[in-house]
Structure formats: structure tokens, C-alpha cells
Amino acid sequence: MANFNTHLNGAFAVSGVLGLTVYKAGLINDSGFLMCVALGTIGGLLPDLDSDNSTPIKLGFNIASFIFAFGLVMHWRSELSLVALIALWLAGYGFMRYVVFRLFTSMTVHRGVIHSVPYMAILGLGLTCLNYYGLHNPLSISWFYGLFLFGGAMVHLSLDEMYSVNLSGMTLKRSSGTAMKFYQHKDKQWYLLLYVLLALLVYAAPPFAPFWEQLRDPTHWAQLKVGVLPDLIDNLNR
């Protein structure tokens, strides 16, 4: 399978190209462009959350542990002494970083249900719903954020499948088919739960038709045609 740097660089490159495309088409603004590229890059690391020793899971739990400890301190800051707050900070961080992390890694198997298309679709749709209903972002931005996160994850799964092909002998490695999967019979209960959650999110998702109509609007793509390539003739005349 592809390594961490390959996933990171691949997701960043694809997200950057797609982000620049929709940005030049006038579909997102400056901050939207940066967020889309960032979310696409993050999405490219998400499928490896089920790997106990992967860089994304360690980094993610470190960040989550700091945030959790900070939240505890901020909640109790007015009621506890300095020494007690320091102890609470260390206890909160240790609980997340070691207890919760140990439980998470013991319950997940690498290339299990997390490393699947429906799981990534749930994360993408969940982010869309969070942005639209929770953060009250515009419809188009909400969909772009969710789609870029999902797209980055698909880059990850695609790279893993590509690396499962032995190009020298044109044969498939044992890992072929374990990356981009939609179902595994041995985890049928988990996949049933995934598809139930996915169906609920599809039902609750913001309307897609207006977003699709905006994407199909020819004025955006006419604008994109302007400046796609440098005007070499004008540059030579100068």
C-alpha cells in the first residue's frame, strides 16, 4: 500500500488542482479555496485512522487530547485552584491519549470498516450537514467542503489499490481489493450500520439540486476559460 507521504502529497495535489479550478470558476472565494484544499488533504489521511501505528491516528489523538484537556480546564477554571487545574489538564490529556487511544486501537482493525467507501461517504456527508445546519455556512460551501473531504479519502483508497498491483509482473498483490471496498461479509453487521447511517445522512442532507444547478451554470465555466493558458502572443508583443 502507499505510504504516508504518498497519501499526503497525492491528496494535496488533487485537492489543489480541483480547488484552483472551482476557485477560478468563481464558485468559491479565497478562504473557501484554502479550506477545500485543507479538507481534501485531511481526507487523504482519514482511511488510515484504523492503523494503530499510522502517523494520522497518532497526530489526531494528540490534537484531540490537547483539545479535550483544554476544554476541561476552561470549564472548571473558575472553581479549581491552579494546582488542581494542572492536575486536571494532565489527567484529561492522559485519559484521551492513552486510555481512549488504547480502546480505539483495540476495537479497530487496519483496512477494516473505517478503510471503506461508505465510511468515508458518512464523514463527507456529516461534514456537509455540520457546515450547513450547525455552522450555517452557505449551501454551496457546505457541499464543497464535504465533497473535498470525501474526494481526498477516495484519492487515498485509489492509491492503495494502485499500489496493490505488481507492475513488474502485472500481478495483483494480496492487498488487492482490501482498500476501496463497499462491503465485507465478515463485517456484515458493521456495514449494515454504516449503510443505515449513510441513508439517514442522505435523507437529512441539504438540498443537492441547487448546488448541482450552480455547478452546471455555463457562466462559471465560461469564466474559467479566460486565463487557462498564458497569452503567449501578448507576452511576446510586449
Tens digit of each residue's pLDDT, the chain (238 residues): 566 778 788 889 999 999 988 988 889 898 889 999 988 988 887 777 655 555 666 666 677 677 778 878 887 888 888 888 889 889 988 887 777 777 666 555 555 677 788 888 998 999 999 999 988 999 999 999 999 999 998 998 888 777 764 444 444 455 455 566 777 777 778 788 889 999 999 999 999 999 999 888 888 777 776 656 555 445 545 5
Burial 102-121 (b: 16+ CB within 10 A, else e): eeebeebebbbbbbbbbbbb
For the chain, which residues make up each domain, given as ranges?
Answer: 4-52+108-222, 61-107
pTM over 0.75: no
Q: For position 170, what pLDDT does the model report?
A: 45
Closest CA to 112 of 189, 44, 40, 37: 189
Closest CA to 74 of 89, 96, 57, 53: 89
Residues 6+ apart with CB under 8 A from 171: 165
Q: For position 175, what pLDDT does the model report?
A: 47
Which residue do the cell numbers 456529516 mark? 126
Q: For position 142, what pLDDT does the model report?
A: 93
∠ CA 122-128-214 to the nearest 5 degrees?
125
CA distance 41 to 155: 9
C-alpha cell at position 82 = 491552579
CA distance 118 to 152: 14
